[in-house]
């Protein structure tokens, strides 16, 4: 008796071969030269479906797999609502160190994400790929729960969730509050040298801005006095009137040029702030003051303070308003 049977197809490049153990071996051949000469280029093994079985025990699915390296069957009990496909595949690889690749596909060849819950996976049949072996897994039909039983299960789940929240919420809030307080202390320590340097730069920029404003007032007073002197003591109004007209027109052109350059109206408070920032950034550059790092630390500090304030709200802590104020 021959140890193997060969099934030829009309396509001379592919045939199936069955060995003595009953497993089918698909061999792909590439034609080279004459039609009678072929070269084998790839193969894959199709394993019978009984290598991987699924049974339900005490309401939980038990997946039995034949480990390829150890040549022994191993049972994996999974929790469908908690275990993901990625966790299940990692457990298989931990059990057999000889497994280099483990993936799960649907019957149509689509790969199933590792984030998918096992509860979703067990809704349909699937294929388990371990190294070069492909296992066709059939999911047994599970008895559906009655509507009353399903409602009771949902109530139990909701009750467990509320109990977990009641038991761990306070500890979580206390832990979160400590983390925020530590973060605030760390940010404030980092801001101390920045604040000291910023105070000196701000003082210098404010002084220069004030000097510029007083200089502008002095120039305007000098201009008014000169025009009055030329009008009443040196020349007459007939001569000085065109001069004052062109001075006014020149001032209007200067204000319009300011708008063209800055895209802002010439308003005295805005002009003062703009000049202050100009002096501030120039001084910061000369003293190597990192403005971007300072702004980032201030934003992180404000965000941490807002998170701490929201965490300490009475609705979150379930405490009276007075206790919250005393705690602050």
Instruction: Please tell me the predicted confidence (pLDDT) of residue 143.
Output: 60
CATH no., domain 53-137: 3.10.20
Residue 127 · residue 134 · CB < 8 Å: yes
Residues 287-313 pLDDT 10s: 888 888 888 988 988 888 888 888 777
Phi and psi, residue 264, nearest 5°? -140, 150
Enumerate the domain spans of the chain: 53-137, 170-317
Residue 44 · residue 134 · CB < 8 Å: yes
Residues 215-267 pLDDT 10s: 888 988 998 898 888 888 888 888 888 888 898 889 889 888 888 888 888 77
Instruction: Please tell me the predicted confidence (pLDDT) of residue 105.
Output: 92
Give the chain's residues under pLDDT 50: 1-45, 47, 49, 321-325, 327
- Percent of the chain whose pLDDT exceeds 90: 2
Closest CA to 40 of 51, 31, 32, 29: 29
Residues 14-26 pLDDT 10s: 444 444 444 333 3
What are the beta bridge partners of residue 15? 8, 27
Instruction: Please tell me the predicted confidence (pLDDT) of residue 168.
Output: 62
Closest CA to 18 of 58, 40, 45, 42: 45
How far, CA to CA in Å, does 125 sit from each of 51, 67, 135?
14, 20, 11
How far, CA to CA in Å, does 287 sit from each of 75, 256, 278, 280, 290?
69, 34, 15, 11, 9
324 token code pair: 């919250």
The C-alpha angle with vertex 46 and arms to 41 and 51, in degrees rounded to 5, equals: 145
């Amino acid at each position: 008796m021959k140890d193997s049977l060969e099934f030829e197809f009309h396509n001379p490049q592919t045939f199936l071969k069955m060995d003595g153990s009953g497993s089918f071996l698909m061999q792909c051949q590439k034609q080279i030269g004459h039609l009678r000469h072929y070269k084998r280029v790839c193969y894959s093994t199709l394993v019978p479906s009984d290598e991987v079985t699924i049974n339900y025990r005490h309401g939980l699915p038990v997946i039995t797999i034949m480990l390829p390296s150890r040549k022994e069957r191993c049972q994996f009990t999974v929790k469908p609502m908690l275990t993901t496909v990625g966790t299940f595949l990692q457990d298989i690889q931990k059990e057999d160190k000889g497994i280099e690749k483990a993936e799960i596909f649907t019957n149509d060849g689509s790969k199933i994400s590792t984030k998918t819950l096992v509860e979703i996976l067990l809704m349909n049949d699937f294929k388990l790929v371990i190294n070069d072996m492909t296992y066709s897994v059939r999911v047994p039909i599970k008895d559906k729960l009655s509507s009353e039983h399903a409602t009771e299960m949902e109530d139990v789940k909701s009750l467990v969730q509320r109990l977990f929240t009641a038991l761990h919420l306070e500890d979580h809030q206390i832990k979160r509050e400590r983390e925020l307080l530590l973060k605030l202390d760390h940010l404030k320590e980092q801001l101390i040298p920045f604040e000291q340097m910023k105070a000196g730069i701000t003082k210098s920029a404010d002084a220069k801005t004030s000097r510029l404003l007083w200089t502008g007032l002095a120039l305007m007073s000098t201009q008014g006095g000169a025009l009055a002197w030329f009008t009443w003591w040196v020349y007459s109004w007939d001569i000085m009137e065109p001069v004052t007209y062109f001075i006014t027109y020149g001032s209007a052109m200067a204000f319009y040029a300011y708008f063209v350059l800055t895209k802002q109206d010439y308003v005295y408070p805005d002009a003062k702030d703009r000049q202050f920032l100009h002096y501030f950034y120039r001084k910061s550059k000369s003293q190597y003051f990192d403005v971007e790092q300072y702004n980032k630390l201030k934003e992180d500090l404000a965000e941490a303070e807002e998170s701490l304030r929201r965490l300490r709200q009475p609705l979150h802590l379930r405490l009276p308003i007075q206790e919250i104020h005393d705690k602050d």
